[in-house]
Amino acid sequence: MSLLLTPTFPDYELLDSGDFEKLERFGRYVTRRPEPQAIWHKSLSEEEWQRRADASFLRTSASKSDERGEWKLKPQMPDRWQVKFDYKQMHLTMRLALTSFKHVGIFPEQAANWTFIYDNIKRQQEAGIAPKVLNLFAYTGGATLAARAAGADVTHVDSVKQVVTWSRENMESSNLDGIRWIVEDALKFVHREVRRGNRYDGIILDPPAYGRGANGEKWVLEENIGEMLECCAELLDREHGFLVLNLYSMGLSALLSRTALRQAFATTGSEEMGELYFSDSFGKELPLGTFCRFTRMK
């Protein structure tokens, strides 16, 4: 099944997009950031963008592929603030901040996967399973918090110590506890888990195009994703597990993800694939990544 998914997220709004930028509201504050997929024109005037934006990201390089830069802030703009996300009995509070790589600590389109994770864990519990979930390349932990809020035993793996610390803050702000934190290269970790014979009832994969492990290990998505999926196939429960794979790299499709998953896992179960997106206030639909996910349930 191919889907276009956009979550309901009251603390987030895509106000406008175009000319390789996006204007977004996170809670009380509005940011202006580069967006390489916004190939159309803006609907609002440049003057209106300047008026609305509390923080504007300025690249230090003229290259559209270089995400490094600095933020220009209006006086009322704090360097940290919070947003909330609620779904059923899940109530998450996440801290945002302005980074030198244009990110703010949350990918709001991923809320469409957080609800999927939450619902699948609840279904496993109803079937008498005590779910164990592994979140790889876990960043600041939105998916980790969703899994823990549903009651799963969660292992959170990221190679960057600072973002794991950020994730712990989000856990505490969300009145959660008991998450297992691992600062390590994700591929090295899953190889070790396979050797140990460990199993998980859910696996979440959110790999970057390029990255470095905690000890300088090199990650290149196209070169390493096959090996990663083979390890995850060994780790995922064969009868009732679920898996979520996100891809942000431009040019990598959901169909590509599904083909790779089918080869690695042999039997996947109920499949969904497609794109995550938000519509701006003028109806322009901005794609923000592809996903492929499946559920094995008897």
Give Cβ neighbours of residue 117 (< 8 Å, ≥ 6 apart): 133, 143, 146, 147, 150, 202, 204, 242, 244
Q: Which CATH superfamily is domain 7-80 in?
A: Golgi alpha-mannosidase II (2.60.40.1180)
Q: What is the pLDDT of residues 247-281, one digit of tens each?
A: 986 668 999 999 999 999 988 889 999 999 999 99
What CATH number should be reported for the domain whose range is 106-295? 3.40.50.150
Q: Are 21 and 58 in contact (CB under 8 A)?
A: no
Phi and psi at 148, nearest 5°, equal -70, -40
Bigger pLDDT: 297 vs 102: 102
Q: Are 278 and 286 in contact (CB under 8 A)?
A: yes
Domain-wise residue ranges, the chain: 7-80, 106-295
Least confident span in 8-17, 147-156, 240-249, 285-294: 240-249
pTM strictly above 0.75? yes
pLDDT class for 215, splitting at 50, 70, 90? confident
Asked if 7-80 and 106-295 have one fold, the answer is no
Q: Are 188 and 217 in contact (CB under 8 A)?
A: yes
Q: Are 275 and 5 in contact (CB under 8 A)?
A: yes
The pLDDT of residue 66:
57
b/e per residue 200-229 (b: at least 16 CB within 10 A): bbbbbbbbeeebebbeeeebebeebbeebb
d(CA 97, CA 249): 23
